[in-house]
Amino acid sequence: MTAAIDWPSTTVLVTGGTGSFGRKFAEIALKNLEVKKLIVFSRDELKQHQMRTDGFDMPNIRYFIGDVRDTARLHRAFQDVDVVVHAAALKQVPACEYNPIEAVMTNVMGAKNIIDAALDNKVKLVLALSTDKAVNPVNLYGATKLVAEKLFVQANAYRGVGPTLFSCVRYGNVVGSRGSVVPLFKEQKDTGRITVTDERMTRFWITLEQGVRFVISSIEDMKGGEIFVPKIPSMNILNLAKAVAPDCEIERIGIRPGEKVHEVLVSEDEAHHALEFEDRYVVQPMHPWWESDSLPGGAELPDGFRYASNTNKMELSIDDLKKLVQQLGGH
């Protein structure tokens, strides 16, 4: 594993820093890790202003307006940065389907730009956020994130004798994040009717706090080239609807284009070169530069293993979901 990070002497930049993940990451990085400097890199000046007015105005936080499509701006922003967390993406499935070139420009070419800027500025560690939709993708969003994963993993071969290491984190739906189903159900609750695409549908479920803490632990453990997958619970969409609005009528509207009934976080093919740990799976890169003994203590997975939301042993009941929704409060 990499040497322990001395966070109080570390400068961290997070792309997409004004999003749901970025805000929670900033909160934990500033309060718990006490990082030397946190750079919030995003393209929305209004959201940056809102972050400042919401209390993110400490002396060690900086706001950079920029787009991951802009290589020159990334090169400028990455100067003297130690760790980059890449969370910027176009992630709404229907929007990506309708605007495919835009999705490719941000999610794929943006990943390339991150890699180039990190290598040229000798950033030490780069961790990119991915999604379960990158596994056997059926929509463009998932396909772009699959390509991004491949780019970040193989970037370790591009660094030569440089110090930069690249890895990915892959997890499922984030409870209560902007654009997620919980806020939608809460809005629909007032109408007395909730729409569900397919009552069989299952999803992996993780909170913002869990996601951020998993990212931080992965940064501390990464050797470069891994895809870190947390062990997280699954939920059934119908149970979630009953937990949020038990008295509402439920209307089934059918699966939308690019949507799966169930999601997968580790495929059967990846399981051949993945290891299991107490709290996670780690997909190892299939490249000659990877040392097979890089991850001591992990257990090999059995033949035919598949980490899917419908066969996950950790399943949230309606009561579990009610408690989770209550914890979200105003989300």
Domain ranges of the chain: 7-174+205-232+264-307
Distance from C-alpha of 29 to C-alpha of 39, rounded to nearest angstrom: 11
pLDDT of residue 263: 95
Q: Which long-range contacts (CB under 8 A, 24 or more apart) does 44-48 make?
A: 44/18, 47/18, 48/18
pLDDT of residue 178: 66
Q: How far, in Å, are 17, 81, 163 from residue 119 at the CA level?
A: 21, 11, 8
**Where would I find the H helices in 54-160?**
71-77, 93-98, 100-104, 110-120, 140-158
Residues of the chain with pLDDT under 50: 1-3, 330-331
The dihedrals phi and psi of 162, each to the nearest 5 degrees, come to: -70, 165
- Out of 24, 133, 145, 260, the active site residue is 133
Distance from C-alpha of 300 to C-alpha of 302, rounded to nearest angstrom: 7
pLDDT of residue 176: 67
Q: Which two tokens stand for residue 280?
A: 């996670």
Distance from C-alpha of 235 to C-alpha of 246, rounded to nearest angstrom: 16
CB-based burial label for 154 (10 Å; 0-12, 13-18, 19+): middle
Are the beta carbons of 274 and 282 closer than 8 angstroms?
yes
Assigned architecture for domain 7-174+205-232+264-307? 3-Layer(aba) Sandwich (3.40)
What is the tally of helices (H) and strands (E) in the chain? Answer: 12, 17
CB-based burial label for 289 (10 Å; 0-12, 13-18, 19+): exposed
Catalytic, 36? Answer no
Q: What is the mean pLDDT of the chain?
A: 92
**Where would I find the H helices in the chain?**
20-28, 45-53, 71-77, 93-98, 100-104, 110-120, 140-158, 181-189, 208-221, 237-244, 268-271, 318-328
Residue with tokens 């718990």: 32
Distance from C-alpha of 19 to C-alpha of 89, rounded to nearest angstrom: 10
Question: pTM here?
Answer: 0.93
Residue 308 corresponds to which amino acid? A
The dihedrals phi and psi of 293, each to the nearest 5 degrees, come to: -100, 20
179, containing H or E segment: none
